[in-house]
């Protein structure tokens, strides 16, 4: 008997470890997904998610294996989950069912493809690709995180999604890093990352090439830190549009740094509609490089992509905006454009160390210009182009 005891303990221990590691990981293949690019894998994914979300182990993981291509309807990954840390390890490739008439959506509709809602402590990571397969498809956002706290997303690639690639809505403490997002430069409304109603958002080390804004920040967002991003083609990093149809909108405490814009239509942009109210304030753009952006620095308080927009007195107040160390080239002659409202001017605009040359043709850079309407503030250090509406300090 005595001889067998250590053996038994080893056996018991190892089977415990096995059971636990298995009990922790929910592979979509074990829940019926096939990944042959033909079979509809929606149910396998949903079952694996249910098991992951229900699991009371410390850190359950839904596992999507590499080297497989999964075909999926909209996925509604609902929380709250039992564990405070829920992982989704996404290594395979995910494509959407091509024909929207085959889509089955629940009450929340088909506007989101992969949707995490009410999932706190979520970590989505891996080397996987989320491929929308382009314009044949319907118009949902590819990955949406709503009403969730403490979320991390890292490492994934997004290709050719027909609408916004990543949506963050009504969530706090969201960390996004190491994403690669790519859609054709001429694809409509393909924002890279769209942030709405979120607080404490950190975005770093992302490469974004899209047909619309690389990152757009809209109402109710505050305390955002965006660092080390390459953007272009695309419409740049935009705060707004804010204040559509007379609405009140506030975006504040946004810090954008170390961004390279290459061939983007805009660099750093703040855009607001006439007739709105609220604030875009406490914003810093620093260490930005523009390579041939159409409008490297722009505030547009007359944003109106439609034909009929009447002049209105109220506007979203743009104030306390710093532009520091912004260098490079502008494809248009006007490199700095502040178009602010007469009744609600832009105030406390700080510029420091700006050096942008016009380069309609790469080989012959020429002097860039600035345009200023109702903008007030202070400029210091090198100022090319000069922005004469600001007081020189
Ligand atoms: C996926 O394929 C690569 C290259 O063929 C291989 O190195 C890797 O082990 C495979 N991974 C899995 C999980 O099958
Ligand atoms: C992102 O990539 C960097 C550099 O490649 C790496 O050091 C870091 O660990 C990655 N971050 C995450 C959260 O995967
Ligand atoms: C910036 O992001 C890129 C990926 O887009 C990464 O390769 C690089 O290491 C990052 N740089 C720093 C200083 O973190
Ligand atoms: C201006 O914005 C910066 C950056 O967000 C902030 O640190 C500073 O306190 C703001 N200044 C005022 C007067 O609110």
Tens of pLDDT, residues 83-132: 999 999 999 999 987 665 666 666 556 788 899 999 999 999 999 999 88
Quote the pLDDT of residue 5.
Answer: 46
Quote the pLDDT of residue 375.
Answer: 98
Quote the pLDDT of residue 184.
Answer: 80
Which residue, by CA, sits nearest to atom 4 of ligand 2? 178
Those residues whose C-beta lies under 8 Å from the C-beta of residue 358, and which sit 6 or more positions away, are 329, 330, 331, 332, 333, 335, 365, 366, 367, 368, 369
Q: Tell me if domain 25-202 and domain 213-393 are identical in fold.
A: yes
Q: What residue ranges do the domains of the chain occupy?
A: 25-202, 213-393
Average pLDDT over the chain reads 89
**What element of type H or E holds 279?**
strand 277-293
Q: List the chain residues with pLDDT less than 50.
A: 1-21
Quote the pLDDT of residue 354.
Answer: 98
SS3 of residue 28 by DSSP: helix
Q: What is the CATH number of domain 25-202?
A: 2.160.20.10
Relative to the CA of 65, which ligand 1 atom is closest? 13
- Tell me, in angstroms, the distance from the centre of ligand 2 to residue 227's CA: 14
Relative to the CA of 205, which ligand 3 atom is closest? 2
Quote the pLDDT of residue 134.
Answer: 63
Does 101 sit in the ligand 1 pocket, CB within 6 Å? no
Quote the pLDDT of residue 15.
Answer: 38
Bridge partners of 286? 257, 324
- Tell me, in angstroms, the distance from the centre of ligand 4 to residue 280's CA: 12
Identify whether 139 is a catalytic site residue.
no
| Fold exhibited by the domain 213-393 | Pectate Lyase C-like (2.160.20)
Quote the pLDDT of residue 13.
Answer: 41
**Selection from 165, 320, 299 nearest residue 234 by Cα:** 165
Give me the catalytic one of 125, 163, 165, 235: 235
- Tell me, in angstroms, the distance from the centre of ligand 3 to residue 180's CA: 11
Does 205 sit in the ligand 3 pocket, CB within 6 Å? yes
The ligand that comes nearest to the alpha carbon of residue 251 is 4
DSSP output for 49-84: HHHHHH--SSS-EEEE-SS-EEEE--EEEE---SSS
Quote the pLDDT of residue 363.
Answer: 66
Quote the pLDDT of residue 11.
Answer: 42
């Amino acid at each position: 008997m005595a001889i067998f005891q250590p053996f038994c303990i080893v056996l018991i221990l190892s089977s415990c470890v096995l059971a636990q590691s298995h009990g922790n990981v929910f592979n979509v293949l074990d829940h019926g997904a096939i990944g042959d690019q033909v079979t509809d894998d929606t149910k396998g994914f949903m079952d694996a998610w249910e098991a992951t979300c229900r699991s009371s182990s410390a850190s359950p993981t839904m596992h999507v294996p590499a080297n497989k291509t999964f075909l999926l309807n909209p996925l509604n990954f609902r929380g709250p989950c039992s564990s405070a840390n829920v992982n989704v390890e996404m290594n395979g490739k995910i494509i959407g069912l091509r024909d929207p008439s085959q889509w089955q959506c629940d009450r929340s509709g088909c506007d989101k493809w992969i949707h995490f809602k009410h999932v706190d402590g979520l970590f989505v990571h891996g080397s996987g690709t989320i491929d929308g397969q382009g314009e044949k498809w319907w118009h949902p956002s590819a990955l949406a995180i709503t009403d969730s706290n403490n979320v991390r997303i890292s490492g994934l690639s997004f290709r050719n999604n027909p609408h916004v690639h990543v949506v963050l809505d009504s969530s706090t403490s969201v960390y996004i890093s190491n994403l690669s997002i790519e859609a054709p430069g001429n694809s409509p409304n393909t924002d890279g990352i769209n942030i709405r109603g979120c607080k404490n958002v950190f975005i770093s080390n992302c490469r974004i090439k899209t047909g619309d804004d690389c990152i757009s920040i809209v109402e109710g967002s505050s305390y955002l830190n965006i660092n080390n991003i390459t953007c272009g083609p695309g419409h740049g990093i935009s705060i707004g549009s804010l204040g559509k149809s007379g609405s009140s909108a506030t975006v504040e405490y946004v810090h954008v740094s170390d961004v390279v814009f290459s061939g983007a239509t805009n660099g750093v942009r703040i855009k607001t509609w006439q007739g709105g109210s609220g604030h875009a304030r406490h914003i810093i753009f620093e260490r930005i490089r523009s390579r041939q952006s159409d409008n490297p620095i722009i505030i547009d308080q007359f944003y109106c992509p439609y034909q009929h927009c009447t002049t209105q007195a109220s506007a979203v107040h743009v104030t306390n905006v710093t532009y520091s160390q912004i260098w490079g080239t502008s494809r248009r002659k006007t490199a700095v454009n502040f178009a602010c409202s007469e009744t609600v001017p832009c105030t406390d605009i700080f510029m420091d160390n700006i050096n942008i040359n016009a380069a309609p043709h790469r080989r012959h850079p020429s002097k860039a210009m600035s345009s200023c309407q109702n903008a007030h503030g202070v400029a210091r250090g090198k100022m090319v182009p000069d922005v004469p509406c600001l007081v020189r300090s």
